[in-house]
Structure 1
């Protein structure tokens, strides 16, 4: 994949290298070193998305990614994962890893402009702040939209670039029923990404005569499209606490049906861990990896709404540490495959 970057710099996403290696019967035989093709799926989780930013920043700064041993084919994101995905894909396609990192850092810095009073239950919000926030909920989606617009300048890079973006949302149909929808790269714009973040308490996000709610009411994340093609590796960044019971290989749609809740009304959370086991069973040829936030049981749902800058920095640092731990284990296993040409 050729991207507009200086091939002499490590920032470039240049995935094929021809090298000279000794050969027992052909002197100076040429081989093509081919990368491992990877897709990434990003869960939603509100402010916990800062953890994902820390994970991706560390991966994109690593020698494993910058050497070209890994080729990113696509990113799927739901809610906060959709925002991180859009920031990454636009940056990767327009300028490489450094631009992707810069855009994520700037976006989350903008998100953390407002600080909350730190109670003894921090990072959980004070009840009065939660109450006051309910009166401001109508302004959250417009604020997210303007923040995304100011940080992503090149949406054509998402629509037409080599790394693909898939985001999902729940569409409100004329009869008030809900249907799950995936926006493919050609449809990507600021509204399709914001649509994926529209929690019911924020209200629907509407554009082009259609209304949408957060994609996590259907799938969190939606992995269908990134598993198509010749993907060899899938990395899922999770933001939900693991279930207490055993993990069962089960598609997240099955949990939604079994819950009895009307489609599009119930958030997918811990079910992702069962869904990951399902992917491993259904796609045995794909190596599935996870890097997940260790959600403290003392954190309640308001901690996902806390956008205090120090809390976001703390979450990002957790993501960086977990990604470094993952790299220490996985990086030695990622070697070029050498094909004679």
Structure 2
């Protein structure tokens, strides 16, 4: 009986398997710019961003994330326009791809964060996400006192996420009336002060942007302890360690758990090992504890199939976006789609729907008595 139940759960997990991709910079390797298809000064060009996002959407990825920091990159050649601006820029030109910018939950004002992300959800017609990360090195830039220790950083991140969720709920879904004949455009009884008082700040509310199309933007995060997130991004140095982190995130009650995976693929005429050796000859990448893969398409398909029995999906970090993304689009994703391991996002659906996450009820809405 237990074996049959585990098999059934595995099949359900595979049917939910989500494919995401990180599109910041030239790739995860600090030397990726040397193998890019364009000159370094084109990194910030509009065409570069549009082409990569279009390639990811056409390949069948469910979402793309955009890393960010207010401080400059520590290693390699890089440059950034802030992540929300990049996501907003490509929103109108995409139709199925979820757009998940990194916005630091520490130091930045949560009122402004929630407004930016709600606006992105409108611009993308319900495909916005938020990777709520920490940026502890940016305290001086914000003119703030540095947070001391992981506990203090976690408290502020938790408060920021809670404030954003309350502000998104501060407008009920029917708050906007738009009765031009009567000259009535807003039902003020459907707006609510959130009156939040946390450990690090307080916010009165309500928001200045109506409730997002998804109700609440999908919140991604790395730390499941004390954070009200929808999607956890986890990893480990090996597959068994990664599976263990997935189980811990599930035990913490996180609705969806995705694996962060660094990928370098064989390309025509050059193996992944040769490519990485060439990149490492100048600057060696810092992988931390992230799960890594280097090899051919068939082996990557096998690894993703294995992970699909445990996790709800993956987010792929490519060694060199311009070299690895075409291989993924031609060989890896088509195989996963044909096998039913993964599914293309449904046109017209929200990011929440494609992640199988319910649209949250508004905490401030009064029950209608009929």
State the TM bucket, normalised to the shorter chain.
0.3 to 0.5
